[in-house]
Amino acid sequence: MLNPIIPTLPAIGLSFLGLCLVYRGWKRADGTSSVLGWAIAASSALAWVHAAGLQYGLVYTLFVPALLVWPLVSLEVSRIAPRPVAPHPREALRWSGVKLAENVGKALVVALGLPLLAGVYTVFVSFQLPVERANQAAVAIVLLPLLTGLFVTVYLASARRRWWLLAGSVGTAALAAVMYL
């Protein structure tokens, strides 16, 4: 009988190699290393699925790199030179009603609007799969946080936030119409 540790070693190795290449690409501003690292880290999902099965393999694919990144973080922290401690005067608080309303609006879009859009997309994609309902729910459970994170990242990183929000709303309305017609 095969020892269960043996299939997990390549998965851990691929995850760590991918993270190291992403770190190297970040440190040297090398896009090739970074892309190669992300590809290797993503391919570690196959090794994790083989080692732990589909249910746990996907969880390990996301969870293990979060643990393995800490040695690289500690390596970076040890290289930072200590800053001299110099007291700075406190700045006076500045309030702007327009900026406050803008930030509250962004928070509402990120906390309520984008997860709703991602939920509609997730339901649409999972209903299109030719599998039974339990497997559709499993796909939706994995897909929903990934889509929500993608939508939030694109929204916050974009200079055209209103355009992305309008495009997502129109796309979601079209998918909802297709689902329920």
Note whether 59 and 21 are same-domain residues: yes
Residues 57 and 122 grouped into a single domain: no
Q: Are residues 115 and 173 in the same domain?
A: yes
50 confidence band (pLDDT: 50, 70, 90) = confident
Phi and psi based region of residue 53 (left: phi greater than 0; alpha: psi -120 to 50; beta: remaining): left
In a domain, 37, yes or no: yes
Judge whether 118 lies within some domain: yes
The residue type found at 103 is: N
CA gap 105, 69 in Å, rounded: 34
Instruction: Tell which of 62, 79, 96 closes a domain.
Output: 79
Q: Are residues 170 and 113 in the same domain?
A: yes
121 and 174 Cβ atoms separated by less than 8 Å: no
Q: What is the pLDDT of residue 1?
A: 46
Total tally of structural domains belonging to the chain: 2
Same domain as 15, residue 64: yes
In a domain, 96, yes or no: no
Q: Is 54 a member of any domain?
A: yes
Tell me the pLDDT tens digit for each residue of 79-137.
667 777 777 777 777 788 898 999 999 999 999 999 999 999 888 888 887 878 778 88
Specify if 44 maps to a domain.
yes
Work out the mean pLDDT of the chain and round it to a whole number: 85
Q: Are residues 23 and 66 in the same domain?
A: yes
Note whether 68 and 119 are same-domain residues: no
| pTM of structure | 0.51
Give the span between the Cα atoms of 109 and 112, in whole angstroms: 5
**95 domain-assigned:** no
Query: With contact defined as beta carbons under 8 Å apart, do 21 and 40 qualify?
Result: yes
Distance CA 124, CA 86 (A): 56
Asked if residues 21 and 72 have their Cβ atoms less than 8 Å apart, the reply is: no
Per-residue model confidence (pLDDT) at position 176: 83
Is the Cβ–Cβ distance between 146 and 126 less than 8 Å? Answer: no
Instruction: Identify whether the C-beta of residue 142 lies closer than 8 Å to the C-beta of residue 129.
Output: no
* Domain assignment of residue 143, yes or no: yes
Q: Whole-angstrom Cα distance, residue 131 to residue 105?
A: 39
Q: 131: domain range?
A: 107-180
Position 87 in a domain: no
Looking at the structure, tell me whether residues 171 and 123 fall in a common domain: yes
167, two tokens: 């495009």
71 in the same domain as 24: yes
- Retrieve residue 61's tokens: 């694919």
Q: CA neighbours within 13 Å on the CB side: how many for 141?
A: 10
Q: Side chain identity at 42, as an amino acid letter?
A: A
- 117 with 172: CB under 8 angstroms? yes
